[in-house]
Amino acid sequence: MVNDIIMPGQYNIVSKMNGHHRQYPGNGLPGPAPLPDTRSEEVTEIIGKMPSWIIRHGITSIGVIFLGIVIGAWFFKYPDVIVSKVIISSGNPPIKLVARSSLPIQQLFVSNNEPVSSGQALCILSNSALYGDIQKIIPLVRQLDTASDLYTAIQKIKIPAGLQVGDLQPAYTDLCQAIQDYHFFIGHNAYRTTIGSLTKQVVYNGQLQKELTNKELMLQEQLRLEHNRFAADSTLVKDRIISPLEYEESKRKMLDQQMTTGSSRTSMIQNSLQQIGYQKDIAQLTLQKQSEENNLQQKIKDAIRRLNGQYAQWELSYVIRSPAKGKVTFYKYWKENQFVTSGEGVMMVTPPMHEYVVRGAIGMENAGKIKTGQQVMIKLPAYPFEEYGLLKGWITGRSMVAMDGNFSLEIKLENDLTTNTGKTIPQQPELEAVGEILTENKSILERIFEKVTGKLNAHH
């Protein structure tokens, strides 16, 4: 049975067949048929009603899971990481040696990677002097310069003549001339002969003085006897025992003895005066000799000083020496007669590495979080940490003032160049690295609260 219903402006056809309704669109064409409802009453009952055990235990489970997450967020902590540029260098950093003159290389004394000692000559640039000739005179000059007794040193040391010393030639010639004049003075000066003669005169006069003194003693004794005899004769003449003529004779003898004794005393005085004169002449001649000798020695010292000064300037211009014990490394391949430019790096001396100095640099951001004792994990770009591991260290100091916008950090390595995986990084003068500084160790919950409170404070 079909029931047709016609509405104004459209045609709708509804049919009822076998208990199902079917509607047609207004254009009279059939549309898509709806799916048959095949759900049973049992399924409809299960879907339409949630089981009671899910309601009872679901909320509890969700609460336990949430509580576990909160507890985990409180106990699970991780630090903030601040990245720093790090330089690891030897306690005795490598020393760069540069040429001070633009000249060809005259002679190389070492090879690349050769061990060298402090003060060792490594290279000499081209100049008019022969290095071997200079090495002959400089040690002798230093001995003269440090001698406490220049007279003795001059007698033992002989400066060779006729050497080719280039820029040192004027001072070298002056020194040779000064030493030659001093030798001539020592061997041919008249002071020594004159002083020797006067010294002998002094000795003879001393002996004569002794003889005169002994004679004086005897004459004094004779004079005493004559005095006694004259005194006795004076008494006898009063008593008329002897004649006046005998008394006069006794008096004459006494007077003669007095004159003889006085003459002897005069000879002693004259001899003493002559002795003093000789000694005065010796003193004057000795002073003159010493003055002239001092002048000659001073000329030698002045020549030594000039030669040392010119040698220092010569070495500064032409010689490259090792400032420390270590290993020499060439900046590039060098050979004799190869030209070098003033200021150009020629060699580098790396002293033995005993201890490493580690310094870091961080910017202004988060610099306030850096504190002494914080751990630093150091990664070496040249040695990937996935393969070699990390170097561990800790902060030992931080600069109070930033230089060029960066704070300087002092870092102490925990186990030198041995990584946390037990591998040892080969010793090198300098290594560039990246340091990860572990700062505040906070839980996830603390960090969430900090962000929330920070936003709230920002709004207020």
Report the CATH architecture of 121-321. Answer: Orthogonal Bundle (1.10)
At residue 77, the pLDDT reads: 57
pLDDT category at 47 given cuts 50, 70, 90 is low
What is d(CA 450, CA 456) in angstroms, rounded to the nearest whole number? 10
Which helix (H) or strand (E) segment holds residue 413: the answer is strand 407-413
Can you name the residues that pair with 103 across neighbouring β-strands? 340
What is d(CA 158, CA 141) in angstroms, rounded to the nearest whole number? 10
What is d(CA 343, CA 99) in angstroms, rounded to the nearest whole number? 5
| Domain boundaries, given as residue ranges, for the chain | 2-38, 41-75, 121-321, 354-459
Residue 196 has pLDDT above 50, yes or no: yes
Task: List Cβ neighbours of 124 (8 Å cut-off, separation of 6 or more).
Answer: 105, 106, 107, 109, 131, 318, 319, 320
pLDDT category at 177 given cuts 50, 70, 90 is very high
Task: List Cβ neighbours of 19 (8 Å cut-off, separation of 6 or more).
Answer: none
**Percent of the chain with pLDDT strictly greater than 70:** 80
Which helix (H) or strand (E) segment holds residue 170: the answer is helix 169-188
Across the range 416-440, mean pLDDT stands at 87
Contact 153, 143 (CB under 8 A): yes
At residue 198, the pLDDT reads: 81
Give the gyration radius of the chain's Cα atoms: 59
At residue 76, the pLDDT reads: 56
Report the CATH architecture of 354-459. Answer: Beta Barrel (2.40)
What is d(CA 77, CA 350) in angstroms, rounded to the nearest whole number? 45
Only one residue has tokens 């014990």, namely: 325
pLDDT category at 377 given cuts 50, 70, 90 is very high
CA distances from 215 to 227, 255, 263, 295, 340 (A): 18, 18, 11, 48, 91
Query: What is the average pLDDT value for the chain, to the nearest integer?
Result: 80
At residue 79, the pLDDT reads: 65
**Percent of the chain with pLDDT strictly greater than 90:** 29
Residue 357 has pLDDT above 80, yes or no: yes
What is d(CA 137, CA 307) in angstroms, rounded to the nearest whole number? 10
Across the range 384-404, mean pLDDT stands at 89
Across the range 78-103, mean pLDDT stands at 84
Handedness of CA 61, 66, 72, 75 (dihedral sign): negative
Q: What is the DSSP string of 186-197?
A: HHH-SHHHHHHH
SS3 category, 56: helix
Alpha helices in 31-122 (DSSP H): 41-48, 52-75
pTM to 2 decimal places: 0.53
At residue 42, the pLDDT reads: 57
pLDDT tens figures, 235-284: 887 877 778 888 788 888 888 888 888 777 888 888 788 888 888 888 88
Contact 349, 116 (CB under 8 A): yes
Residue 15 has pLDDT above 60, yes or no: no
